[in-house]
Amino acid sequence: MLKGKQIPKIIWPLLALAAILLFNLLFTDHFFRITIRDGHLFGSLIDILRRCAPTMIMAIAMTYVIATGGIDISVGSVLAISGSIASLVVWGGSTNYLAGDDEAIYAAVGLIILIPLLASLALGAFNGLMVSVVGLQPFIATLILMTAGRGIAQLLTGGKVLNFSHAGFEFVGRGYFLGIPFPFILAMLVLLLGLAITKLTPMGLYIQAVGGNRSASQYSGINTKFVILFVYIFSGFAAGLAGLVMTADITGADAGFMGLYMELDAILAVVIGGTPMEGGKYNLKGTVVGVLIIQTLTTTILTRGVPPEYTTIVKAIVVLAVLIIQSRKVRELIEHRTMIRAAKEAESV
Amino acid sequence: MSEKLLEAKGVSKTFPGVRALSNVDFALGRGEIHGLMGENGAGKSTLIKAITGVFPRDEGDIFLDGEVIHPHSPMDAEALGISTVYQEVNLLPNLSVAENLIIGRQPMKRGCIDWKTINNDAIKILQKFDINIDVTELLGSYSIAIQQMVAIARALELDSKLLILDEPTSSLNLDEVQKLFIQMRRLKEEGQSIIFVTHFLDQVFEITDKITVLRNGEYVGEYNTADLTKLDLISKLMGKALDELKEFEHIAENKVDEDAEALLCTDGSGKAGYLNPFNIYINKGDVVGLAGLLGSGRSEIANMLFGIVKPDKGSMSIRNKKIKISSPAQALKNHIALCPEDRKNEGIIAGLSVKENIVLALQVKQGWLKNINTRKQNELARKYIDMLDIKTPSVDQAIENLSGGNQQKVIVARWLATNPELLIVDEPTRGIDVGAKTEIQKLIVQLAQDGMGVLFISSEIEEVVRCSNRVYVLQERSVVGELAGSDIDEHKIMHTIAGKGE
């Protein structure tokens, strides 16, 4: 009997990433050059790691949400709320910083980070309760916060762009640790946190079970409401953290535009990574690669000086190509062919 | 013109792993109301779907008016003159009642839809059923019963050769059923032929001329309704001739051990509108059977004991200690396990592997902090794969790739792994082949002999008789009888089910 040689699914997004990198190796000068300046690594590749961090943080949490059969489209707005609160805290709660005495009211880094994160956890819990207890469809439940959230963020900042300079807090978005951009280290920490929760506790199994068959999960004794609540809280937390990174990076919060459409990038990364939208399975490594694909693509387009009006189109075409390669039909076709070839080889031996 | 309106000869249909119809015959005369009966999984719906073109038949021929038909879709069938009302309303709740009644054949007036005529026509159609409602309201704003009546009215209005009513009465009350029957009789007088699928014995005796019985996808026979008694029909549905029943071999120990340790006992547990208060007890080493027709409350008892549904009256005790069970997790902690009835929707978790499906309930029982690691998972899975002889290429195989019987064994393994003291199995052998069926029955008896208490629920009475040492009989959501030891036989159970009417 032929032993089914299963091609691991991660191979497809990895191939796509390799293809984009190969393109750059051939056609983009200095893309792979990494230099050391002031003890920090510099170069296009390092830039990719730094810039992809907010999306990666959100996409990791989004992977779990999608694995339960849900979706969280409010993360962009939660990000904006978190960033706005952070800027507010920097200014001691005052939006009148332009009036003058701005030196005295700078807050401690701990507070600037803690308060927005607590708010984001609460927002995630709101989403989770809407989905698990109230029973709203995830898309609708998180649509509420997606639209209302941006309004809340703008109300918080009084419609102003809150700029600041705060050496301690800026490190979150701009710093380097052991030469590596700090935001990327944060993203890796979120990845580790996610892995710890899902591998060291049964949460990973429960998430897949709930996404695969909620009714059967309930019959198995799983507290399905709690599992669903958890993934949305984690997603809220991740969006809040991403908001801190972005705010610290641009040293300001523009409530109207921060994180706009980023929920779509996060969802796209999850899907490119091979996690099915219908839930029941997830591929965390795939998500990480998916984020890298999106960011590498964006950086490539920018460094090659493609006119900005084309960037979204180019991005869409590449993403479409990746998704087509990954589609079950195409994959089955390829696997079928390799199986036939293997069978023929086995016969000829 | 052929004598029969519709004839099916040797129709077979196989789904992956299941032979749903095997060489089934069916014949419907003109102006006849013909009951199609069978237990769940007997193949009634499959036959209807083959006739209405929901899927193609594998073998056999279907003749309408003497000509072979091959409908490719329900629309196709409707064009041939076959109109169908399904159990679940499949009209459009987002349109008005009138639109639902007239859709597809709207009268036009000067290039515009003639709403006035539509609404008046709709009112007239519904008046035949004594339904006086605002036909311009959305269909979805009315009760399921009204919606079902609208669906029936619509089907009756279509000028069709053949009308199929697939369990249309399950959501209707007695009054509404009578109104439907009046219309059916009127149509019959006009020469309309009707296939009537139902679970309700009384109804089938009241309205039909002939009855065809299917069992396990096979044709059992066609009977004149007038020649059948209720008990005859039950025995045909269940699949044992009355005189054969006594010879059936017991595999259960036929004695009731009076000294056995009490495991579970209910005292008037019940919930309004769900299950009437019931008293049952299960001791260690018992296999207690629950027998009764579909909808008699069998699964409802299981759901209540397992905490899926909370009782609103009565009490329950485990090992003589009063206890309230309000969630499956709590039931698990009290060493109760339920292998649910609906394997596909309540049992297997399709995305997960065999091993993950097995460890799931044990993991829940152990709690959040004691994670079962991969090595342990593999060990457990291998243990139960050996013990239950589950046929799977590996522990990591996706469960949906297993056959129905093996999937069922995986679900049984899931619950055995939790080391239960009381195991509730609801239809553990439904839809699986004979070999696997016997294995599961033997396993259940063996588990009881090892000291477990088992509540055994099945729609197949022979199976209940075979495995149980006590049986509770259910009827209309109440426990109506109890049989023990050598008193258990199919005849007695059927008599109890059929009630005092016989």
Q: Give contacts of A212 with chain B, Cβ < 8 Å.
A: 349-352
- State whether B351 and A280 contact (CB < 8 Å): yes
Residue A23 has pLDDT above 80, yes or no: yes
Nearest to A216 among B331, B345, B369 (CB): B345
Q: Give contacts of B348 with chain A, Cβ < 8 Å.
A: 213, 216
Residue A329 has pLDDT above 80, yes or no: no
Phi, psi (deg, nearest 5) at residue B51: -70, -40
Which tokens sit at B483?
Answer: 């049989």
Q: How far apart are CA A219 and CA B331, in angstroms?
A: 10
Residue A93 pLDDT grade (very low, low, confident, very high; cuts 50, 70, 90): low
How close, in Å, is residue B98 to chain A by CA atoms?
Answer: 30
More confident residue, B346 or A333: B346
- State whether B327 and A221 contact (CB < 8 Å): yes
Helix, strand, coil percentages, rounded to 5, for chain A: 70, 5, 25
**Mean pLDDT throughout A273-302?**
91
Residue A141 pLDDT grade (very low, low, confident, very high; cuts 50, 70, 90): very high
- State whether A213 and B348 contact (CB < 8 Å): yes
Q: Give contacts of A213 with chain B, Cβ < 8 Å.
A: 345, 348-351
Q: Give contacts of B356 with chain A, Cβ < 8 Å.
A: 205, 208-209
As for the ipTM of the complex, it is: 0.81
Q: Count other Cβ atoms within 10 Å, centred on residue A242.
A: 33
Amino acid present at A14: L
Calculate ∠ Cα B249-B253-B257, nearest 5°.
150
C-alpha closest to that of B155 among B184, B197, B124, B127: B184
Q: Which residues 319-378 on chain B approach chain A with CB closer than 8 angstroms?
A: 327-329, 331-332, 338, 340, 345-352, 356, 359-361, 363-365, 368-369, 371-372
Inform me whether the C-beta atom of residue A202 falls under 8 Å from chain B C-beta atoms. Answer: yes
Q: How far apart are CA A124 and CA A235, in angstroms?
A: 6
In A, minimum Cα distance to B343 occurs at: A216
Inform me whether the C-beta atom of residue A168 falls under 8 Å from chain B C-beta atoms. Answer: no
Residue A89 has pLDDT above 70, yes or no: yes
3-state per-residue secondary structure call for A251-309: CEECCCCCCCCHHHHHHHHHHHCCCCCCCCCCCHHHHHHHHHHHHHHHHHHHHCCCCHH
How close, in Å, is residue A124 to chain B by CA atoms?
Answer: 22
pLDDT tens readout for residues A147-204: 999 999 999 988 888 888 888 888 999 989 988 999 999 999 999 999 999 999 999 9
**What does pTM read for this prediction?**
0.71
The CA R_g of chain A, rounded to the nearest whole Å, is 22
Which tokens sit at A310?
Answer: 């084309």
* pLDDT given for residue B184 in this prediction: 87
3-class secondary structure, B281: strand
C-alpha closest to that of A79 among A274, A206, A191, A241: A241
Strands B210-215 and B287-291: unpaired
In A, minimum Cα distance to B360 occurs at: A220
What integer best gives the mean pLDDT of chain A? 87
* pLDDT given for residue B500 in this prediction: 47
Q: How far apart are CA A82 and CA A169, in angstroms?
A: 14
3-state per-residue secondary structure call for B386-416: HHCCCCCCCCCCEHHHCCHHHHHHHHHHHHH
pLDDT tens readout for residues A234-256: 999 999 999 999 999 998 888 88
More confident residue, A328 or B325: B325
Q: For chain B, which ranges sit under pLDDT 50?
A: 244-248, 500-502
Any idea of the CA torsion for B351, B354, B357, B358, to the nearest 10 degrees?
A: 180
Inform me whether the C-beta atom of residue A8 falls under 8 Å from chain B C-beta atoms. Answer: no
Q: Which residues 259-288 on chain A approach chain B with CB closer than 8 angstroms?
A: 279-281
Nearest to B371 among A200, A208, A281 (CB): A200
* pLDDT given for residue A4 in this prediction: 42
Nearest to B371 among A201, A218, A279 (CB): A201
Among B325, B332, B357, B364, the strongest candidate for a mutation testing the A interface, having the largest count of A CBs within 10 A, is B364
